[in-house]
């Protein structure tokens, strides 16, 4: 089962946070627009006395809040009083009155709030522990490093609702709460706790940002007023509740285009850009209708303005520094998280930059963020430099994470230290060690960040970028020039590009109109449209006119096309050393060069190396080389001097996971970090290589050395050549490094490089690439299973449509179809008939001998099991955890809820699973982790669905559930240790129950259905732990944002396949006192069974229909499974989307419905208790040691 969360909606998050405020706005909407006379009125308003008395000259941006100045000015009005000046200097320094601090995490990964908050939370935990504070942490996301039990003193993996956090506060009684590390989730939670008086009740102080400051920054109206106070412009806008009001606002703003954003709708439904009066009225009407509160925001469009961001830090002594300036290549109109961004800002003169700096400093002071980091976004008119401030985040944000990685300045760590009283100059710069943190980083390279999207996962949604963030991850690259960093960032994305251009792109085939559209309307592939347009000879000026992308960037790109044109006319032998340097300095990869000169990547590399053209690694040091820095945070360039200075120690190279995407996210970063920690402890020097700025792994202090580099064959081989590590670890970063395993192995076989520690050759550690291949290659794998007598669902490989139909007929429908070698269930579908199979083959994938399609029997109603196991090189295998999925087989394991230990599986089946897993691990010579998926049919037959000899998505969850860090063990095993050395010899079956639940991003993708299927679409996960399954399940549901209702009405609509279960579900809910509502088909079945049901019309049958009931709040829970009937399908989809919009929990599977009923039953009879992770294991280690299960099998041959 999966649920949607929506945290960072442009408008709605603010609206939700201050919904009461929004309602009250109706009366004072026009206050904003009434010009200067009103301003005088505002000056007298009691809410801003300080700001107004103090500023005699409104346009100043100096030290407005400067304490000594304040004292002086006050005195000038009141006469001298003497003691005020004595207080002028704030007391700073570490606070001794705080002992215990609570940190709020960000909860599950959702779009707009990804693992950057694991990075910030982890840094905060470390920093506060380092200062000797006791740290209590709350985060519902088990895949985070910060929820490792040893990072905080007390770790609560629990739902993050105000009521439940209150319980934790009551239990732990912390002195302070730090809410600025966990994104919008934490901030909203802190506001709720502060406003309800809970913080006051328990005497908890908010540190890092005060309530007033949070409100001033988050509430649009207060923010605008604050900006007005200090004379900084904001885009003119207003909130209207009727069409007339909207028109008034439009008149006030005075010019088109106007942006209309309805409040309280998801994904900007009903919003848009109006270019004329008619359009404006149409969109406003639609927006008012779509908005739950009948409110729309009308805003002046700044489309095409340049967008900048400044990262600001302030301490309690009122020192302010700017950490980084960021320029967005995509101009205003695209959410900054979806924009390609560059640091430092490239197209500002000093005067312009200092103006933004002055503004940022004034803003952080006016908003009143006492200490910590903030992010301020500006729009700058490219034709006259007019500046408007767009928004400010009074917390550590995604941009802060980016700025930290871009400059080497650890913003989150510093913010944590500032929150406990330090001033910036009291903290040493982490990198130079000698200079203070109170400075502004200067960088001598260019950083480019490019977002990564997943529109292909959400059919029905339009791949268009707007002010609502849709990207699921990002890659960052550093280079000495923009071109170098840009090309590296493009190839870091792993979207099949080895750089920008020099490839056969679909855009090259487009006609001019299509290209122009793609340039004009921002979309994920716009940069490739720019390439195609340039190849066609379109001028930089024309591209600028269409896209508003600054010409500076376009000219840089144009030069890359010129270089490509040059290369196209060359052959490999023509290229000189100088040529290579020139081309490589522009970021071209060997693969791109090979494409242009019609050679192979291999040959290009050989030639390049023979000319001595190798990358020089530069260090990131926050100070542009002004001071010595020993922190080995490096990036490649083709400059003269290499600063990497590799050591001769025993060392390992860990390949990270690259940009986050659906199916490969924070879980793999967790594994990489754990590997680094464990091997460091075991005496190895660890070298991390990754390109994802959001992660903990790319923190410069996670590993001994960090290379911020694309994860491609070329870049990895360069580092292998340079570092010559003892081992290379490819198992932990997901598919990204696994795909590199074979080429790396080939290279190692061919060149046999000696490792730098002189203890042998460089090797890939862990399961060999050959074994990995054996598990992934269908035919090899089938042979092994046959040999081991392991059952798997019937299936076959189809190389043509005829093949496919034949196989399907042979094994019988329903079947699961998917392309071979898939990631995260890409394009996987369950098909029930020949027609559908043909449609699938025609639309979803191409089938030919090169790209075969796999067809397997779909096991209806089977229970799916996930197993994580650990094997050492001595032949020992231990089961890490057996997870029972709540949803039936067929829902991608990443999207389905699961529990440890299993709940309903007979022990005979578990025995089969254990024995098969162990046999398979041994047969595949697994060294490290292996994940297997099984299906158990209703009749109790076990089938193996899949085996992956690598770390899986579930490793962090299992580790936390059983209290053993599996990834750490796995890395030690790979270094040669046996499981006996580690003392991990038995499967641990915990006495408590852990439930994992997936979180899905459907709200962000208009128009796509919310049904779960074999294609993975969740972005994150939450965990619920308790001693009873129903409560653990309920906790997971609440954490995922779908609090089960305790009473009310359930809407049931089941398709024919699931109708047999209808009676059971209905009875369960009736038993809990729920009313049941259904449409004709379902109601008929229920009536036959004698169950009381109310009938309601289907959406297409007339009104009032089910949708009306949803919008009237008459339905509290919906259970809808998909239906075969086309009309019903449209209906069901619309209904599910409506439920999403009105935040009614939707359950789309039978198992999920039953589990929910059980959870409701438990919630009604007992209260949810908050238990710290540490407590589960302390209790169990005493009581439950006898419960462990002996599953280790001694190696027979070793």
Partner 1 sequence: MTMSLTLSIPLTCFVPKDSSVNSPRYRVFTVTCSSAIGTPALGLAERPWKVSDARLVLEDGSVWKAKSFGASGTQVGEVVFNTSLTGYQEILTDPSYAGQFVLMTNPHIGNTGVNFDDEESTKCFLAGLVIRSLSISTSNWRCKKTLGDYLAERNIMGIYDVDTRAITRRLREDGSLIGVLSTEKTKTDEELLLMSRSWDIVGIDLISGVSCKEPYEWVDKTNSEWAFNSRDRETFHIIAYDFGIKHNILRRLASYGCKITVVPSTWPASETLKLKPDGVLFSNGPGDPSAVPYAVETVKDIIGKVPVFGICMGHQLLGQALGGKTFKMKFGHHGGNHPVRNLRSGEVEISAQNHNYAVDPASLPEGVEVTHVNLNDGSCAGLAYAAKNIMSLQYHPEASPGPHDSDYGNGNPLFTYMLKCDDDLLKRVKFLLYCYSGLSVCQPIFFFFNLSIYCIKFID
Window 76 to 95, contacts with partner 1 (CB under 8 A): 76, 80, 82, 85, 88-89
List the one residue out of 359, 466, 447, 453 whose CA is nearest residue 399: 447
788-808 in b/e form (b: 16+ CB < 10 A) is eebebbebbebeeeebbbebb
Pick the closer one to partner 1 by CB: 464 or 568: 568
Which residue shows structure tokens 């906790």?
1035
Q: How far is the CB of 500 from partner 1 (least distance, A)?
A: 16
Q: How far is the CB of 642 from partner 1 (least distance, A)?
A: 9
Cα–Cα distance measured from residue 745 to residue 741, given in angstroms and rounded to the nearest whole number: 6
Pick the closer one to partner 1 by CB: 167 or 435: 435
For partner 1, which residue of 202, 256, 510, 552 counts as binding (CB under 8 A)? 552
Q: Does the protein bind partner 1 through residue 537 (CB under 8 A)?
A: no
Q: How far is the CB of 59 from partner 1 (least distance, A)?
A: 7
Sequence-distant (6+) residues with CB within 8 A of 182 are: 103, 104, 105, 106, 107, 117, 120, 121, 139, 189
Residues of span 620-639 touching partner 1 by CB under 8 A: 623-628, 639
Q: Does the protein bind partner 1 through residue 983 (CB under 8 A)?
A: no
Both structure tokens of 914:
């254990």
Q: Does the protein bind partner 1 through residue 56 (CB under 8 A)?
A: yes
Q: Does the protein bind partner 1 through residue 387 (CB under 8 A)?
A: no
CB 408 within 8 A of CB 441: yes
Q: Does the protein bind partner 1 through residue 358 (CB under 8 A)?
A: yes
Both structure tokens of 223:
């923010």
Pick the closer one to partner 1 by CB: 59 or 907: 59
Pick the closer one to partner 1 by CB: 322 or 764: 322
List the one residue out of 770, 769, 762 whose CA is nearest residue 717: 762
Cα–Cα distance measured from residue 664 to residue 687, given in angstroms and rounded to the nearest whole number: 21
Q: How far is the CB of 447 from partner 1 (least distance, A)?
A: 11
Q: Which conformational region is residue 79 in: left (phi greater than 0), alpha (psi within -120 to 50 degrees), or beta? A: left
Please identify, among the stretches 559-567, 604-612, 1139-1147, 1168-1176, the one whose residues bind partner 1 according to the rule CB under 8 A.
559-567
List the one residue out of 792, 1020, 1022, 1032 whose CA is nearest residue 903: 1032
For partner 1, which residue of 275, 517, 566, 1189 counts as binding (CB under 8 A)? 566
Element (H, E) at 155: strand 154-156
Q: Does the protein bind partner 1 through residue 542 (CB under 8 A)?
A: no
Which residue shows structure tokens 């960052």?
476
Pick the closer one to partner 1 by CB: 458 or 700: 700
Q: Around Cβ 763, how many Cβ atoms within 10 Å?
A: 15
Please identify, among the stretches 442-450, 527-535, 1090-1098, 1127-1135, the one whose residues bind partner 1 according to the rule CB under 8 A.
442-450
Residues of span 831-860 touching partner 1 by CB under 8 A: none
Q: Does the protein bind partner 1 through residue 808 (CB under 8 A)?
A: no
SS3 content of the chain, % helix, strand, coil (to 5): 40, 20, 40
Please identify, among the stretches 378-386, 662-670, 756-764, 954-962, the one whose residues bind partner 1 according to the rule CB under 8 A.
378-386
x-or-dash string of contact with partner 1, 448-487, rule CB under 8 A: --------------------------------xxx-----
Q: Does the protein bind partner 1 through residue 304 (CB under 8 A)?
A: no
Q: Does the protein bind partner 1 through residue 131 (CB under 8 A)?
A: no
For partner 1, which residue of 130, 456, 545, 559 counts as binding (CB under 8 A)? 559
Q: Does the protein bind partner 1 through residue 196 (CB under 8 A)?
A: no
Q: How far is the CB of 439 from partner 1 (least distance, A)?
A: 5
Q: Does the protein bind partner 1 through residue 568 (CB under 8 A)?
A: yes
Question: What is the C-alpha end-to-end distance of the chain, expressed in Å?
Answer: 43
Q: Does the protein bind partner 1 through residue 599 (CB under 8 A)?
A: no
Q: How far is the CB of 481 from partner 1 (least distance, A)?
A: 5
Pick the closer one to partner 1 by CB: 447 or 841: 447
List the one residue out of 259, 263, 232 whose CA is nearest residue 18: 263
Q: How far is the CB of 89 from partner 1 (least distance, A)?
A: 6
For partner 1, which residue of 61, 588, 916, 1051 counts as binding (CB under 8 A)? 61
The DSSP symbol for 57 reads S
CB 342 within 8 A of CB 399: no
Please identify, among the stretches 52-60, 200-208, 848-856, 1027-1035, the one whose residues bind partner 1 according to the rule CB under 8 A.
52-60
Pick the closer one to partner 1 by CB: 92 or 662: 92
Pick the closer one to partner 1 by CB: 442 or 648: 442
Sequence-distant (6+) residues with CB within 8 A of 614 are: 608, 718, 721
Please identify, among the stretches 328-336, 343-351, 676-684, 1033-1041, the one whose residues bind partner 1 according to the rule CB under 8 A.
343-351
Q: How far is the CB of 887 from partner 1 (least distance, A)?
A: 52
Phi, psi of 126 (to 5 degrees): -60, -45
Tallying the residues shown for the chain, one arrives at 1198
Strands of the 651-655 sheet, one edge to the other: 616-619, 633-637, 705-708, 685-690, 651-655, 727-729, 763-764
Q: Does the protein bind partner 1 through residue 281 (CB under 8 A)?
A: no
Query: How many residues touch partner 1 (CB under 8 A)?
Result: 91
Q: Does the protein bind partner 1 through residue 614 (CB under 8 A)?
A: no
Q: Are strands 205-206 and 176-178 parallel, antiparallel or unpaired?
A: parallel
List the one residue out of 691, 479, 501, 503 whose CA is nearest residue 587: 479
Which residue shows structure tokens 């009948």?
294
Residues of span 632-671 touching partner 1 by CB under 8 A: 639-641, 643
Pick the closer one to partner 1 by CB: 107 or 421: 421
For partner 1, which residue of 171, 355, 794, 1067 counts as binding (CB under 8 A)? 355
Q: How far is the CB of 55 from partner 1 (least distance, A)?
A: 10
Sequence-distant (6+) residues with CB within 8 A of 248 are: 30, 238, 240
Q: How far is the CB of 569 from partner 1 (least distance, A)?
A: 4
- Number of helical (H) and strand (E) elements in the chain, helices listed first: 43, 40
List the one residue out of 378, 284, 273, 280 whose CA is nearest residue 322: 378
For partner 1, which residue of 41, 49, 58, 62 counts as binding (CB under 8 A)? 62
CB 261 within 8 A of CB 300: no
Please identify, among the stretches 419-427, 761-769, 1030-1038, 1076-1084, the one whose residues bind partner 1 according to the rule CB under 8 A.
419-427
Please identify, among the stretches 314-322, 896-904, 915-923, 1151-1159, the one whose residues bind partner 1 according to the rule CB under 8 A.
314-322
CB 605 within 8 A of CB 716: no
Residues of span 881-910 touching partner 1 by CB under 8 A: none
For partner 1, which residue of 19, 29, 68, 647 counts as binding (CB under 8 A)? 68
Q: Does the protein bind partner 1 through residue 435 (CB under 8 A)?
A: yes
Pick the closer one to partner 1 by CB: 536 or 751: 536
1047 SS3 class: coil
CB 1023 within 8 A of CB 155: no
For partner 1, which residue of 40, 96, 569, 1126 counts as binding (CB under 8 A)? 569
* HEC profile of 1110-1127: HHCCCCCEEEECCCCCHH
Please identify, among the stretches 6-14, 380-388, 723-731, 875-883, the one whose residues bind partner 1 according to the rule CB under 8 A.
380-388
Cα–Cα distance measured from residue 1010 to residue 1129, given in angstroms and rounded to the nearest whole number: 12
Q: Does the protein bind partner 1 through residue 871 (CB under 8 A)?
A: no
Q: Does the protein bind partner 1 through residue 325 (CB under 8 A)?
A: yes
Q: Does the protein bind partner 1 through residue 344 (CB under 8 A)?
A: yes
The runs of H, that is alpha helices, within 1045-1142 are: 1062-1071, 1080-1088, 1106-1111, 1126-1141
Residues of span 256-275 touching partner 1 by CB under 8 A: none
């Amino acid at each position: 089962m999966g649920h949607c969360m929506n945290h960072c909606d442009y408008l709605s998050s603010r609206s939700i946070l201050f919904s009461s405020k929004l309602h009250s706005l109706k009366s004072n909407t026009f206050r904003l627009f009434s010009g200067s006379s009103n301003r005088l009125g505002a000056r007298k308003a009691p809410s801003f006395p300080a700001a107004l008395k103090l500023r005699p000259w409104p346009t100043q941006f100096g030290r407005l809040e400067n304490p000594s100045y304040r004292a002086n000015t006050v005195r000038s009005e009141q006469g001298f009083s003497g003691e005020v000046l004595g207080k002028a200097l704030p007391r700073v320094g570490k606070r001794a009155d705080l002992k215990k601090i609570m940190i709020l995490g960000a909860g599950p990964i959702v779009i707009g709030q990804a693992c950057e908050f694991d990075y910030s939370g982890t840094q905060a935990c470390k920093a506060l522990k380092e200062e000797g504070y006791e740290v209590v942490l709350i985060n519902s996301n088990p895949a985070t490093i910060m929820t490792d039990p040893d990072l905080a003193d007390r770790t609560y993996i629990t739902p993050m609702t105000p009521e439940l956090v209150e319980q934790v506060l009551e239990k732990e009684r912390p002195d302070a709460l730090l809410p600025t590390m966990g994104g919008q989730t934490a901030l909203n939670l802190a506001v709720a706790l502060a406003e309800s008086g809970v913080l006051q009740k328990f005497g908890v102080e908010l540190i890092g940002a005060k309530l007033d400051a949070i409100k001033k920054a988050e509430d649009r109206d207060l923010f605008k007023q604050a900006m007005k106070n200090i004379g900084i412009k904001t885009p003119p806008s207003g909130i209207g509740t009727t069409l007339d009001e909207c028109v008034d606002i439009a008149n006030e703003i005075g010019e088109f285009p106007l942006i209309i954003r309805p409040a309280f709708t998801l994904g900007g439904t009903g919003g848009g850009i109006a270019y004329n009066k008619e359009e404006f009225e149409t969109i406003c009407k639609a927006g008012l209708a779509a908005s739950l509160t009948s409110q729309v925001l009308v805003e002046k469009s700044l489309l095409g303005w340049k967008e900048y961001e400044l990262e600001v830090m302030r301490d309690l002594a009122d020192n302010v520094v700017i950490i980084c300036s960021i320029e967005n290549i995509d101009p205003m109109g695209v959410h900054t998280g979806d924009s390609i961004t560059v640091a430092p800002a490239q197209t500002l003169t000093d005067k312009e930059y200092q103006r933004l700096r002055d503004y940022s400093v004034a803003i952080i002071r006016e908003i009143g963020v006492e200490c910590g980091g903030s992010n301020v976004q500006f729009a700058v008119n490219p034709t006259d430099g007019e500046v408007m401030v767009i928004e400010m985040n009074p917390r550590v944000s995604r941009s802060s994470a980016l700025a930290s990685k871009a400059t080497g300045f650890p913003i989150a760590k510093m913010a944590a230290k500032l929150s406990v009283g330090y001033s910036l100059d009291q903290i040493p710069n982490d990198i130079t060690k000698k200079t203070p943190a109170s400075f502004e980083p200067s960088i001598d390279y260019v950083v480019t960040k490019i977002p990564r999207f997943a529109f292909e996962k959400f059919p029905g949604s339009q791949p268009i970028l707007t002010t609502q963030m849709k990207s699921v991850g990002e890659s960052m690259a550093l280079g000495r020039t923009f071109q170098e960093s840009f090309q590296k960032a493009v190839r870091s994305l792993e979207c099949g590009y080895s750089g920008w251009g020099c490839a056969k792109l679909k855009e090259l085939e487009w006609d001019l109109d299509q290209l122009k559209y793609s340039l004009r309307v921002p979309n994920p592939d716009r940069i490739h449209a720019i390439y195609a347009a340039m190849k066609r000879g379109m001028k930089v000026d024309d591209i600028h006119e269409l896209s508003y992308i600054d010409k500076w960037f376009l000219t840089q790109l144009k030069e890359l096309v010129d270089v490509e044109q040059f290369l196209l006319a060359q052959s490999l032998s023509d290229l000189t050393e100088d040529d290579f340097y020139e081309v490589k300095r522009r970021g071209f990869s060997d693969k791109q060069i090979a494409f242009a000169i019609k050679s192979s990547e291999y040959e290009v590399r050989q030639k390049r190396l023979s000319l001595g053209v190798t990358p020089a690694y530069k260090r990131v040091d926050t100070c542009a080389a002004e001071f010595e820095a020993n922190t080995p945070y490096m990036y490649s360039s083709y400059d003269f001097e290499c600063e990497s200075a590799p050591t001769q120690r025993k060392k390992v190279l860990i390949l990270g996971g690259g940009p986050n995407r659906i199916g490969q996210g924070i879980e793999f970063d967790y594994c990489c970090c754990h590997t680094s920690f464990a091997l460091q402890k075991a005496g190895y020097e660890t070298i991390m290589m990754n390109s994802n700025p959001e992660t903990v792994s790319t923190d410069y202090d996670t590993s001994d050395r960090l290379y911020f580099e694309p994860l491609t064959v070329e870049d990895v081989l360069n580092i292998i050549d340079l570092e010559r590590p003892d081992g290379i670890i490819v198992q932990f970063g997901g598919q990204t490094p696994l795909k590199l395993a074979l080429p790396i192995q080939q290279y190692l076989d061919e060149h046999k490089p000696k490792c730098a520690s002189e203890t042998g050759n460089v090797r890939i550690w862990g399961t060999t690439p050959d074994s990995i291949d054996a598990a992934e290659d269908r035919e090899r794998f089938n042979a092994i299973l046959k040999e081991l007598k392991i059952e798997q669902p019937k299936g076959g490989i189809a190389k043509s449509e005829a093949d496919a139909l034949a196989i399907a007929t042979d094994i019988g429908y329903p079947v699961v179809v998917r392309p071979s070698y898939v990631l995260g269930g890409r394009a996987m579908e369950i098909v029930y008939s020949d027609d559908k199979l043909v449609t699938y083959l025609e639309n979803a994938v191409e089938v030919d001998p090169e790209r075969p399609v796999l067809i397997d029997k779909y096991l209806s109603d089977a229970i799916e099991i996930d197993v994580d196991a650990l094997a050492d090189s001595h032949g020992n295998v231990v089961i890490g955890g057996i997870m029972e999925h709540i949803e039936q087989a067929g829902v991608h394991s990443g999207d389905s809820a699961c529990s440890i230990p299993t709940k309903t599986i007979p022990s005979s089946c578990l025995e089969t699973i254990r024995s098969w897993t162990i046999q398979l691990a041994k047969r595949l010579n697994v060294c490290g982790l292996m994940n297997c998926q099984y299906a158990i049919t209703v009749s109790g037959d076990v089938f193996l669905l899949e085996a992956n000899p690598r770390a899986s998505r579930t490793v962090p969850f299992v580790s936390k559930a059983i209290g053993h860090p599996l990834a750490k063990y796995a890395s030690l095993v790979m270094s040669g240790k046996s499981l006996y050395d580690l003392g991990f010899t038995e499967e641990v079956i915990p006495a408590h129950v852990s439930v994992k639940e997936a979180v899905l991003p459907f709200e962000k993708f208009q128009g796509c259905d919310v049904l779960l299927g074999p294609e993975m679409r969740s972005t994150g996960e939450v965990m619920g732990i308790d001693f009873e399954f129903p409560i653990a399940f309920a906790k997971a549901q609440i954490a995922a944002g779908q609090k089960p209702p305790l009473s009310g009405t359930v809407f049931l609509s089941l398709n024919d396949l699931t109708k047999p279960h209808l009676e059971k579900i209905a009875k369960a809910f009736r038993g809990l006192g729920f009313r049941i509502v259904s449409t004709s088909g379902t109601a008929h079945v229920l009536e036959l069974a004698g169950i009381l049901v109310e009938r309601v019309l289907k959406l297409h049958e007339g009104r009032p229909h089910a949708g009306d009931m949803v919008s009237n709040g008459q339905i509290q829970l919906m259970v809808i499974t998909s239906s075969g009937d086309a009309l019903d399908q449209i209906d069901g989809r619309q209904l599910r989307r409506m439920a999403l919009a009105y935040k009614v929990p939707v359950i789309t599977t039978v198992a999920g419905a039953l589990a929910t009923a059980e959870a409701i039953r438990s919630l009604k009879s007992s209260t949810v208790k908050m238990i710290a992770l540490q407590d589960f294991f302390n209790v169990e280690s005493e009581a439950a040691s006898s419960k462990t299960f002996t599953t280790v099998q001694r190696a027979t041959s070793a």
